[in-house]
Amino acid sequence: MRQEANGKAQTRIQKEKTARIHTAALSVFAAQGFRGATLDAIALEAGMSKPNLLYYFESKEAIHTALIDKLMQTWLDPLRELNDEGEPLDNILNYVKRKLQMSRDYPRESRLFANEILQGATRIQHLLSGELKQLVNEKSKLIQRWVMTGKIRDVDPVHLIFSIWSLTQHYADFDAQIQAVVGADTDPYPDAEAYLTTLFSRMLQV
């Protein structure tokens, strides 16, 4: 995000326009991917001129980077909250629930992230091999302690996290497929939450 040369923070209007650009870019990137998205399309979606957009972001890459950085922080928050307080199984089930809620509430963000992974993740590799890897390693050690102390069944911690990601983000990334199967007027999330709660409970409960 561009800042004024004197280093002053953005004004209220500047913050509002930046947020509008983020929202517009999210729609365009989620629908067309990074390669298909253009500054013209983002400006049109945001309802502003391209020169005005370029006042706030110098390139398509800069907008994309800002979106991904913001998305990663939101995406990692539920995993950060996985801790040693309370019952381990309850902690894991709460993480599953939070991830499923995020798929329901942030489907475009999920698809944006999925598109990046499918394209090789070249623009976000530093985030994946840095902050994400570090957090997964930290939480895997916590899960392994629960296994070693007999609080949950023996399970590979990393692949447990992978399976939670897969089974929850599926509902955002494959929304069109789900609607085709269950019907566009059916909310799949209540049944999905009940199913996943049962699945992980039976897998992990001692």
Give the tens place of pLDDT for each residue, 40-84: 999 999 999 999 999 999 999 999 988 888 888 888 999 999 999
Of 3-12, 116-125, 143-152, give the range with the top mean pLDDT.
143-152
Q: Which of 35-39, 110-114, 153-157 has the highest mean pLDDT?
A: 153-157
Using DSSP, how many helices (H) and how many strands (E) does the chain show? Answer: 11, 0
CATH class of the domain defined by 12-58: mainly alpha
Q: Are 51 and 39 in contact (CB under 8 A)?
A: no
Q: What angle do CA 168, 87, 146 make, to 5 degrees?
A: 85
Give CB contacts under 8 A, 24+ apart, made by 59-67. Answer: 60/34, 61/123, 62/1, 63/21, 63/22, 63/25, 64/25, 64/29, 64/34, 64/37, 64/123, 65/123, 66/1, 66/22, 67/22, 67/25, 67/26, 67/29, 67/112
Which pTM was predicted? 0.85
Where are the chain's structural domains?
12-58, 66-204
According to DSSP, residue 59 is labeled S
pLDDT at 5: 36
- Does the domain at 66-204 match CATH 2.40.30.10? Answer given as no
**Residue 166: what pLDDT?**
96
Which has more confidence, 104 or 125? 104
Lowest mean pLDDT among 12-21, 40-49, 153-162: 12-21
